[in-house]
Amino acid sequence: MKSLFSSSRQIGGGLMLSLTLSLTLSLPMAACSDPEQAETAAETRAHTPAPAFAHDQAIRDLYAAALAAGESELVLYTAFPDTAALWQAFNQDFPGIRLIPSLSQQVYTRLEGEARSGNAMGDLVLAGWGTLAELVRQGRIERHVPETARHLPERYADPEGYYQLPWVNAFTLAYNTSQIAPEEVPSTWADILDERWKGKFSHPRFGGISPHDASLIVLQEGGKLSDDDLFRLREHARPSDGSGNQIVMTQLAQGRFAFILFVPAQSVTRLADSGAPIKAAFPQDATVLYGPGVGLVKGAPHPHAAKLLKNWLFTPRAQALIAAQEYAYGTMPGTPPPPGFPPVDTFEQVHIPYAEANAYFDRYRQKVATIWGLD
């Protein structure tokens, strides 16, 4: 067994702490310590045909090209660890290529270092709008539109063709089912900011380029959340102990809050599946769809394998897996919603131009700092 994700984080004093997430799967060759066994496994992988897909020829051609070029692995830099089932399915469908997802929080520095050293390792980046827009500005991403994504709605693709969104997550309100009955769950901002709930809810901290920051931008730009609402939100919500989603979701499950805002329904549902007394509510006024884009790194060492993964992500098989196992909305037309989630066309929201994403984040970072008194 090999860890699906691994990353290194710089700790004070130069100590490198290796972080291994508990998402594991069996990868071909991972347990082959004998050189002859490893060689045999490699030969088996290289001669295994690709499965049938709706875009059969494009997929098969890319798989054949990758194998012919000796591309037996593929490195994906990602900030989204909750996708183990999806990557496992890719490895099963294309056993001649080993997908290596690498959890990377410092992708700018990482790609800059690889470019300077001439030792390219990363093939694809799966990240949010702000990160990808900055990488495009830096010249790190290559234009590439997958054949399978030709009918992707415009709102899910960079207009210049640098990256596309294979899925979006619903960032929404989640509540503790032991404290609130379904009919009592707030459904509007007037309900959320009612005196009844003052001090009984929370949200992740703002001030960066995270999905909950993007949620704030989309709701304000769409006229669903006013500046007055933001000031009342500051006064009514209890401060979170951190900027991440996991902290407030854990506190919600522990009963420290009645409900929380701007958290991914994907993660909430996974916790509920494990027995936590929490549930996503999807109120129209407080739900935002936000997802990562996938971009091809310029000078990628495994370009055919990288294009294969990009194409595969928009196939009916991958899109169905995204909904059924990842609890996210696939972006291709006709993809069913995750089980128990409302249809994707339930949500109406303003579109933020991807090329202007960082300008929006910068402007809202200043607004948030003013309202919440951040440094």
Q: What is the pLDDT of residues 267-296, one digit of tens each?
A: 999 999 999 999 999 999 999 999 999 999
DSSP class per residue in 197-266: GTTSEE-PPPSSSSHHHHHHHHHHHTTSS-HHHHHHHHHHSPPPSSSSHHHHHHHHHTTS-SEEEEEEHH
Q: Are residues 124 and 262 in the same domain?
A: no
Q: What is the pLDDT of residue 19?
A: 27
Each residue of 105-153: pLDDT tens digit? Answer: 789 999 999 999 999 999 999 998 888 988 999 999 999 999 999 999 9
% of the chain residues with pLDDT over 70: 84
Segment 155-175 shows an average pLDDT of 96
* DSSP secondary structure code for residue 180 in this structure: -
Q: Are residues 192 and 153 in the same domain?
A: no
Do 171 and 210 meet the contact criterion of CB atoms below 8 Å apart?
no
**Out of 7-21, 137-151, 223-237, which region has the weakest mean confidence (pLDDT)?**
7-21
Q: Residue 257 pLDDT > 70, yes or no?
A: yes
Q: Are residues 208 and 285 in the same domain?
A: yes
% of the chain residues with pLDDT over 90: 69
Q: Residue 332 pLDDT > 90, yes or no?
A: yes
Number of domains in the chain: 2
Structural domain of 61: 2-166+292-341
Q: Are residues 311 and 285 in the same domain?
A: no
* DSSP secondary structure code for residue 15 in this structure: P
Segment 261-270 shows an average pLDDT of 95
One-letter amino acid for residue 282 of the chain: F
Q: Are residues 106 and 176 in the same domain?
A: no
Q: Residue 200 pLDDT > 80, yes or no?
A: yes
Q: Are residues 175 and 95 in the same domain?
A: no
Q: Are residues 242 and 253 in the same domain?
A: yes
| 22 compared with 230, residue with greater pLDDT | 230
Q: Are residues 236 and 262 in the same domain?
A: yes
CATH code for position 276: 3.40.190.10
Q: What is the pLDDT of residue 224?
A: 95
| 368 compared with 55, residue with greater pLDDT | 368
Q: Are residues 108 and 189 in the same domain?
A: no
Q: Are residues 224 and 278 in the same domain?
A: yes
Q: What is the pLDDT of residue 57?
A: 87
| 185 compared with 245, residue with greater pLDDT | 185
Q: Are residues 194 and 331 in the same domain?
A: no
Query: What backbone phi and psi angles, to 5 degrees, belong to 297?
Result: -70, 135
Q: What is the pLDDT of residue 241?
A: 75
Q: Give the separation between CA 371 and CA 236, rounded to whole angstroms.
A: 13
pLDDT band per the 50, 70, 90 thresholds, residue 80: confident
Q: Give the separation between CA 300 and CA 278, rounded to whole angstroms.
A: 42
Q: What is the pLDDT of residue 210?
A: 82
What's 328-347 look like in SS3? CEECCCCCCCCCCCCCHHHC
pLDDT band per the 50, 70, 90 thresholds, residue 29: very low
Q: Are residues 228 and 129 in the same domain?
A: no
Q: Residue 89 pLDDT > 80, yes or no?
A: yes
Q: What is the pLDDT of residue 44?
A: 41
Q: What is the pLDDT of residue 105?
A: 73
Each residue of 350-370: pLDDT tens digit? Answer: 998 888 888 898 899 899 889
